[in-house]
Structure 1
Amino acid sequence: MDTNVTVNDGAATLSLAGRFDFKAHREFREAVEKLLQQSEGRAVQVDMKEVSYLDSSALGMLLMLRDKAKAASRDVALVGVNGNVRQVLDIANFSKLFSIN
């Protein structure tokens, strides 16, 4: 999986591409730490438009991000979600935990 962190005036964005599974754990965790350090006070967006697959470990990683962001008083939104990725998030009821667009 590829990760990219960008910080703009209104929000910090973590862009993901490829398979979001357990193999991406270390890379995702490092990207989250970088994102939270660079984005003081900003909302956090996870851009998932290029994610082709995610599994239960990816769901756990998203929950970890949510917990860390909440501890820093920041909201997390999942954006660019579609196809199979959207189905997995819907089945897991993630719309109750995240804003999903």
Structure 2
Amino acid sequence: MNIEVFHNDNFSKVVLNGRFDFTAHRAFKQAYETALTEGSTSQVKIDMSAVDYLDSSALGMLLILRDRAKETSKSVSLINCGGSVREVLRVANFDKLFTLE
């Protein structure tokens, strides 16, 4: 999985590309910690447009991110979720835990 972090005026965007599974754990944590520590960031957007697979460990990582963001008074949204990724998130009720854009 490739992960890139971009900072805007009031949000940071973490762009995921590839399979989102346990092998991405360390890189994903490093990316969201970078996003959360950006001074002007009030929101972290996880761009899932290029994610072609996610599993239960990816869902767990998103929950950890949500808890960590709450600790830093920041919000998290999942953006560009399509196809099977959106379906997995919906079945897991993540549409009730996160803003899906």
Q: TM-score, normalised by structure 1?
A: 0.95
1:35 counterpart = 2:35? yes
1:79 alignment partner in structure 2: 79
* Correspondence list, 1:1-101, <5 A: 1-101=1-101
* Displaced runs of 4 or more, over 3 A: none
CA RMSD of aligned residues (A): 1.0
Deviation at 1:3, TM superposition (A): 0.5
The alignment-based identity, stated in percent, is 50
Query: Structure 1's 39 and 87: CA in aligned 2 closer, same or farther, altered over 3 A?
Result: farther
Q: TM-score, normalised by structure 2?
A: 0.95
Gaps spanning 5+ residues in structure 1: where? none
How many residues align structurally? 101
Alpha-carbon distance in 2 for matches of 1:100, 1:94: 8
For residues 37-56 of structure 1, give each alpha carbon's deviation from its aligned partner in whole angstroms, at most 9, with x where no partner exists: 12444211000000000000
Gaps spanning 5+ residues in structure 2: where? none
Deviation at 1:15, TM superposition (A): 0.6
SS for the counterpart of 2:77 is: strand
Deviation at 1:10, TM superposition (A): 2.7
